[in-house]
Chains A and B, each alone.
Chain A
Amino acid sequence: MKSRTVTLNNVCKSFVDDSGSAFQAVTDVNLHIEAGEFVTLLGPSGCGKTTTLRMVAGFESISTGDIYFGDDNVRNLQPNKRDCTMVFQSYALFPHMSVYDNVAYGLRLKKMPATAIREKVNQTFDIMNLGAYQDRMPGQLSGGQQQRVALARALVMEPSVLLFDEPLSNLDAKLRLTMRDEIRRIQKAVGITAIYVTHDQSEAMSMSDKVVVMNKGRIEQVGTPTEVYQRPATRFVADFIGVANFLQAEVADTDSESVQLRLGEALVKMPSDGSFESGRQVTLVARPEAIGLTRPTAAGSGNLLPGLVQRSAFMGQVQDYWVDIGDNEIQVTVSNPRAHEPFQPGDKVLVDLHGDSLHWVQG
């Protein structure tokens, strides 16, 4: 399969509404996607991710900037001439055609001979386990089966780029997990470049080689799932992906390896990346699962802060606590809650901010 790179250069999109006022939906998006890479555009609704995808597909014109498939600028290419098939959120199966005809549709438009079409379609059916349904109409399929047909219809075209517009949002939770794996498996197997739009962070984290976090039409961060989670570039990214406790701190002292931060009364130590100077205000990001809770009687070392348990919630595999540590209330997630006696609201505790897991962002 001839998968290709995709490059977005300073892509902007502004819409003009009826009253004539312009709205900037996408601003200065620069992105390079390697051939065969699975990239997710992640963000809240209205962040411009779908608009970006639709510009790649050609359904929205590009206000300024360029989009390249390989070395070809596709800016002025009609959507039906671009080599990037799409899996739609609503699947968009042709309701008046059988499953077979749906999948064969694009090949027929290419004027491929009927025998070649049959061969290709059957091949795709084999990969997707759809052969048994080929004579059914879309209305006779379950949501999951429709989803596979939509994927098969896009795959069979062997495009340079495969586009996904929130394809799993209409499925129930269990099926969503299965389809996630399936999409990822097939994408890897055929080695196709894929751009995947979603607002579901767990979908993005579990499937992607690279996650592009977008907010208000701009890219906030591009990185691997681990990077965007552990090293969020901005407060928005930290907040949007996973749960984050934000703590305002001031740089108290710094040396070549570590930095001491003043957090209210307490001092907190973390590794330095060399960018700190004394007196500077920073926002610390502490993930709930990277915080320890112990009884005040227990001896220990590290960034220990006294706290008071406010409330807790038992989630099954984990237990969440909300702990007052003076200026802030932080959320702490304790895994394997069975291991020790749960804390009760009103309990005095020691909060351990693991220095290695701490991270800081601007703002």
Chain B
Amino acid sequence: MRETIVSGLQRVYREPLLYLTILLVVASLAVFIAYPLLMITKASFFNIHDGFDLTSYRRILAGGSLLTSLTNSFQLALIAATLSTVIAYLFAYVFAYMDVPFKKLFNGIAILPVISPPFVIALSAILLFGRQGFITRELLGITNANIYGLQGLILVQTLSFFPIAFLVLAGLLKSISPAIEEASENLGASRLQTFFKVTLPLSMSGIANAFMLVFIQSLADFGNPITIGGGYSTVAKEIYLQAVGSYDIQAGAALAVLLLTITAVVYAIQKYWVGNRSYVTVTGKPGAGRRMINSGWPRTVLFGFCLFLSFTVVLFYILVPVGSFIQLWGINYSFTLDHYRVVFSLGQKAIRDTLFLATIATFIAGFMGMIIAFLLVRKNFLGKRFVEMVSMLSIAIPGTVLGIAYIISFNQAPLAITGTAMIIVAAFVVRAIPVGIRSGITSLQQIDPSIEEAATNLGASQSKVFFGIVLPLIKPAFFSGLVYSFVKSMTAMSAVIFLVSARYNVITASILSQVESGRIGVASAYCTLLILIMIAAMLFLHLVVSRMGSYSQPSKAIRTVTAQPEPQTVKV
């Protein structure tokens, strides 16, 4: 034992920079993820006088509004996940098996929810189907239409989340070897029989994956319920109301702990149980490409359905910019720039703050994500398990849980950072970093470690190896991590809503206050601006990446293809 300590110390002495980095990573994960989660768990079991009691859990179990929010969330998540998965499967099938035009459009639709602020679809739904809705009131003449509530949430969540399921399923269907299906047909099965006996069973793991991802998304969703939920209370919203509205932190904490437990369990099932049940990896060499279905009525029907849905989604997204130029939706349809005047006067500070904080968070999350991925894939060190576990767990933390955990943890010494820029940046980073870590890990695993050894062998130090070899090699993952972090930070709301203050405000919080006071036009203007910023940022980064050029891999030995693509753009 003593010998291992001595040799451990020797290693630290030889590579001080590496171990300093590890120390920093472990410390920041401990402070900004592990500690808040411990604190919120503690807060749910202790009352304000620091006495242990189970009051809040009892209150939840006793029924009433707290329990209703949980059951409501479950109901909503089940419906939204089912609908999203079914729609996504049809989409993915058309995408992977059929020769149809507009495939680019389908792919574009899949990226929309990633870059869109959490309100866009909900706002559009109000504009279309609300009391003053364009369809409900102008076209159908209904004056008491009610989009607020479960029906609105189902519509909005399905439209928002089915693209996530689509990404998972399209990747899976594309990776099914056509040879397997050809074998089935060769043995006498019809196309339909082949679908039910081969394709569908092979895609079950993906279906389960997609379902659970949407399920978690729906449970953790805060933006849609707060906008369009009306009287239908859901758990994420209830946590916010308990914590901020009625100042019952303990009840909020208890709900948050329950929500976190549920998402963590579902995530673990998705990751370990379903993840291991994929058959796709046992296929041999890829043979010829798939023969695409290019005629027949099923193709026509499915394609029509996909087209209809795509245009619906596009319509929902276009409506918000349109709405931002309209005086008073439903009453006065004249053109105006008033909403933008409000945005650029009152909202100026929020815009500046958001850009500032998001930019800092982007760089921290971008670099730290790659560093953590590198440490996890390539290094052995004390605390690796901890880093692995915490960064895994952070994927499953719903934003509202993180938000309430932060206000509980960071409003007293020694870590009284409530109200500072630091706490918001930390929340941004924690929300954004898991995806960066995962894509970093995936691309590092595809790179032959002897490339790094070659650099060391030729005399490069650890930091030279990382910045000169590793980072350039995982550049695609690094930049997509940067883009994702920026987009995620700009559109973050569920966690940040707890943390904004007079000193630092963010755009999404401003949108929320506009929505709450019914000024849909101003909210739409904010959203439009946010979308424009995001498009600009993505174009800029795309330009940077393509200017830096790409390289081709030297040999097959260096890149082994992973059979199942990770759903990298999935946010939880």
Does A278 belong to the interface (CB within 8 Å)? no
Report if B450 contacts A (CB, 8 A).
yes
User: Which of A73-81, A211-219, A342-350 has 4 or more CB atoms under 8 Å from chain B?
Assistant: A73-81
- Taking the complex as formed, is B420 at the interface, i.e. its CB lies under 8 A from any CB of chain A? no
CA distance A91 to B556 in the complex (A): 11
Interface: A31 (CB within 8 A)? no
The distance from the CB of B2 to the nearest CB of chain A, in whole angstroms, is 15
Q: Which 9 A-B pairs have the closest CB atoms?
A: A139-B552, A106-B458, A138-B554, A92-B454, A92-B450, A90-B557, A109-B459, A88-B450, A92-B451
Chain A contacts with B in 109-151, Cβ cutoff 8 A: 109-110, 137-141, 143, 146
Contact status of A96 and B472, CB under 8 A, knowing A90-B557, A91-B554, A170-B555: yes
The CA of A143 and the CA of B469, in the complex, are separated in Å by 21
Instruction: Report how far A92 CA is from B457 CA in the complex, Å.
Output: 11
Q: Which residues of B contact A79 (CB under 8 A)?
A: 453, 456-457
**Cα distance A92–B453 when bound, in Å?**
8
Residues from 52 to 96 in A contacting B, C-beta threshold 8 Å: 57, 59, 61, 76, 78-81, 84-86, 88-96
How far is B460's CA from A96's CA once the two chains are assembled, in angstroms?
Answer: 16
Q: Which of B14, B464, B554 sits near A95, CB closer than 8 Å?
A: B554
Interface size classification for chain B = 20 to 34
> Contact between A78 and B14 (Cβ–Cβ < 8 Å)?
yes
Contact of A109 among B14, B458, B475, B555 (CB under 8 A): B458
For the complex, is A105 an interface residue (Cβ under 8 Å from B)? yes
C-alpha gap A352/B200 in the complex (Å): 67
Q: Is A157 interfacial (CB-CB < 8 Å)?
A: yes
Of all chain B residues, the one with the shortest Cβ separation from A93 is: B554
Quick one: which of B96-140 are within 8 Å of A by CB? none
Interface residues of B in 70-111 (CB under 8 A from A): none
Residues of A within 8 A of B558 (CB): 90, 92, 95
B448 touches A90 (CB 8 A): yes
Say whether B553 contacts A94, CB under 8 Å: no
The closest CB in chain A to the CB of B458 belongs to A106
Give the chain B neighbours of A105 by CB distance below 8 A.
455, 458, 460
Is A153 interfacial (CB 8 A cutoff)?
yes
- Complex contacts, A106 vs chain B, CB 8 Å: 458-459
Indicate if the CB atoms of A139 and B456 lie closer than 8 Å.
no
CB < 8 Å neighbour of B552 from A61, A88, A90, A95? A95
Residues of A within 8 A of B453 (CB): 57, 59, 79, 86, 88, 92
Q: How far is the CB of B444 from chain A (nearest CB, A)?
A: 14
Using CB atoms, name the residue of chain A closest to B4. A16
Additional pairs, 8, CB under 8 Å, beyond known A85-B458, A92-B453, A138-B553:
A79-B453, A80-B457, A89-B557, A94-B473, A137-B554, A139-B552, A153-B454, A170-B555
Q: What's the nearest-Cβ distance from chain A to residue B12, in Å? A: 13
Nearest-Cβ distance from residue A29 to partner chain B, whole angstroms: 20
B28 at the binding interface (Cβ < 8 Å): no
**How extensive is the interface on chain A, given as a class?**
35 or more
Report the minimum CB–CB distance from B354 to chain A (whole Å): 34
Known: A57-B457, A105-B458. A94 touches B451 (CB 8 A): yes
Q: Given A89-B450, A90-B555 in contact, is the A80-B456 Cβ separation under 8 Å?
A: yes
Asked whether A96 lies within 8 Å of B551 as measured between CB atoms, the reply is: yes
B554-A146 in contact (CB<8A): yes
Does B336 make an interface contact (CB < 8 A)? no
Q: A95 vs B474: C-alpha distance in the bound complex, in angstroms?
A: 11
Asked if B552 contacts A140 (CB within 8 A), the reply is: yes
State whether the Cβ of B21 lies closer than 8 Å to any Cβ in chain A: no
Fill in one digit per residue for B522-552: 1 if any A CB lies within 8 Å of its CB, else 0: 0000000000000000000000000000011
* B15 → A minimal CB distance (Å): 8
Does B501 interact with chain A (Cβ within 8 Å)?
Answer: no
Flag if A80 contacts B472 (CB, 8 Å).
Answer: no
CB-CB under 8 A for A139 and B554, given A90-B448, A92-B453: yes
Known contacts A93-B451, A94-B451; is-contact A141 B554 (Cβ 8 Å): yes
* Nearest B residue (CB) for A142: B555
Instruction: Select from chain A the residue with minimum beta-carbon distance to B449.
Output: A92
A81 to B458, CA, bound (A): 9
In the bound complex, CA of A85 to CA of B557 (Å): 21
Bound state CA distance, A57 and B557, in angstroms? Answer: 21
State whether A143 touches B458 (Cβ < 8 A).
Answer: no
The distance in angstroms between the C-alpha atoms of A143 and B553, with both chains bound, is 12
In angstroms, Cα B464 to Cα A61, docked, is 21
Q: In the complex, which of the residues A76, A94, A138, A154 has the most CB atoms of chain B within 10 Å of its own CB atom?
A: A94
Interchain nearest-CB distance for B511 vs A (Å) = 42
Q: How far is the CA of A272 from the CA of B459 in the complex (A)?
A: 54
- Please give, as numbers and ranges, the residues of chain B lying within 8 Å of A139 by CB-CB distance: 551-554
| Chain A residues positioned under 8 Å from B557 (CB to CB) | 89-91, 170
A94 contacts B555, C-beta separation under 8 Å: no
B10 at the interface (CB under 8 A from A): yes
Contact B450 A109 (CB under 8 A): no
The yes or no answer to B348 lying at the interface (CB within 8 A) is: no
B206-222 residues at the A interface, CB under 8 angstroms: none
B448 pairs with A137, CB closer than 8 A: no
Q: Is the CB of A91 within 8 A of B456?
A: no
Q: Tell me the complex Cα distance, A140–B472, Å.
A: 18
For the complex, what is the distance from the CA of A140 to the CA of B550, rounded to whole Å?
Answer: 13
Q: Are the C-beta atoms of B450 and A110 separated by less than 8 Å?
A: no
A109–B460 contact, CB under 8 A? yes
**Distance to closest chain A CB from B384 (angstroms):** 11
Which residues of the other chain, B, contact A137 by a CB distance below 8 angstroms? Answer: 551-552, 554
A353 and B116 alpha carbons, distance in the complex (Å): 84
Kindly provide the distance from the CB of A65 to the nearest chain B CB, expressed in whole angstroms. 14
Q: Write out, one digit per residue, whether chain B residues 1-43 have a CB within 8 A of any chain A CB (1) or not (0).
A: 0000001001000110000000000000000000000000000
Instruction: State the Cβ distance, B122 to closest chain A Cβ, in Å.
Output: 44
- Contact (Cβ within 8 A) A86 B552: no
Contacting residue for B454 out of A78, A81, A94, CB 8 A: A94
Which interface residue of B453, B473, B554 has the most chain A CB atoms within 10 A?
B554
**Closest chain B residue, CB of each to CB of A137:** B551
Complex interface bits, B425-459 against A, C-beta within 8 A gives 1, otherwise 0: 00000000000000000000000101101111111
Interface positions, chain B 448-490, Cβ under 8 Å from A, are 448, 450-451, 453-461, 464, 469, 472-473, 475
Distance, CA A146 to CA B14, complexed state (A): 33
- Among the listed A109, A141, A154, which residue makes an inter-chain contact with B464, where contact means beta carbons less than 8 Å apart? A109
A141-B453 Cα distance, complex, nearest whole Å: 21
A143 proximity list for chain B (CB < 8 A): 555
Question: Which of A80, A146, A157 has the most chain B CB atoms inside 10 A of its CB?
Answer: A80
* Contact status of A157 and B551, CB under 8 A, knowing A78-B14, A92-B451, A109-B464: no
Contacts of B448 in A (CB 8 A): 90, 92
Question: Chain A, 38-60, contact with B by CB distance < 8 Å: what is the 0/1 string?
Answer: 00000000000000000001010
A76 and B11 alpha carbons, distance in the complex (Å): 10
User: What are some 26 contacts across the A-B interface (CB < 8 A)?
Assistant: A57-B457, A61-B7, A78-B14, A79-B457, A84-B457, A86-B454, A86-B457, A89-B450, A90-B555, A92-B453, A93-B554, A94-B473, A95-B451, A95-B473, A95-B551, A95-B552, A95-B553, A105-B458, A105-B460, A109-B458, A137-B551, A137-B554, A138-B553, A138-B555, A139-B551, A140-B552
Q: In the bound complex, do residue A80 and residue B554 qualify as a contact, i.e. CB atoms below 8 Å apart?
A: no
| A80 to B475 CA separation, bound complex (whole angstroms) | 24
